[in-house]
Amino acid sequence: MTPRTRRTFLAFAILATLAGMDTLRWWRATEHNTAIDRSTRTEHPTAPLLVEDSPAELRFAAASLAAREGQVTRAVALYRQVAEARPDLAPGALVDAANALHREGRRLVAADNRAGALPLLELAKETYREVLRRDPSVWSARYNLERALRLAPEDEARDDEGASIPADSERALTTMRAFTLGLP
């Protein structure tokens, strides 16, 4: 075999290997997209099979389905995994996690189980605040935080423990409880 034939054969082998790797990636992406599609169906959705190295998008779809089925703990855990793995998806995942907690808290309040709802509402409020610390422009987090605060107001004394504010002092409108300036 001549050196030129060897180089040609080596180049062909490298290209065949790269094409095989690309085909494998395409096949996995197609499987993930099919699983995401199945989990978002309105009739008979099926949860995607998650493995340790499942992509964040697949975990996001599984979390969304778990939230729709009322599996709040599983949904929140999956949304948190997405937020940790993909910072670009973190605001959406955290808002969805807080929404699942908020929805379950509202359901418990409606069922006259306020004691069971308060921890969920507190977790929802903290998650909305986490989203707003990361990106203050997320209006859905701001709006839903306000709704959660109306459902489970916070104790004024707890907020002002370290500071003594004179009774006749002014406070900014944005710090008033249950006051909204409206949304655009």
Q: Which of 7-11, 101-105, 146-150 has the lowest mean pLDDT?
A: 7-11
Stronger pLDDT, 75 or 54, i.e. the higher one: 75
| Identity of the amino acid at 83 | A
- pLDDT band, very low/low/confident/very high, at 158 (cuts 50, 70, 90): low
Stronger pLDDT, 27 or 51, i.e. the higher one: 27
Q: What is the pLDDT of residue 32?
A: 59
Q: Which of 105-109, 142-146, 171-175 has the lowest mean pLDDT?
A: 171-175
Stronger pLDDT, 131 or 16, i.e. the higher one: 131
**Which of 60-69, 92-101, 108-117: highest mean pLDDT?**
92-101
* Cα–Cα distance measured from residue 73 to residue 50, given in angstroms and rounded to the nearest whole number: 16
* Cα–Cα distance measured from residue 12 to residue 21, given in angstroms and rounded to the nearest whole number: 14
* Cα–Cα distance measured from residue 7 to residue 60, given in angstroms and rounded to the nearest whole number: 46
CB 60 within 8 A of CB 93: yes
Stronger pLDDT, 148 or 27, i.e. the higher one: 148
Give 43-72 pLDDT, tens digit per residue: 655 555 555 667 888 888 888 888 988 899
Rounded (5°) CA angle 88-35-20: 85
Q: What is the pLDDT of residue 145?
A: 95
| Phi, psi (rounded to 5 degrees) for 90 | -60, -50
Stronger pLDDT, 181 or 25, i.e. the higher one: 25
**Residues in contact with 79: Cβ distance below 8 Å, sequence separation at least 6, in sequence order:** 60, 63, 93, 94, 96, 97, 100
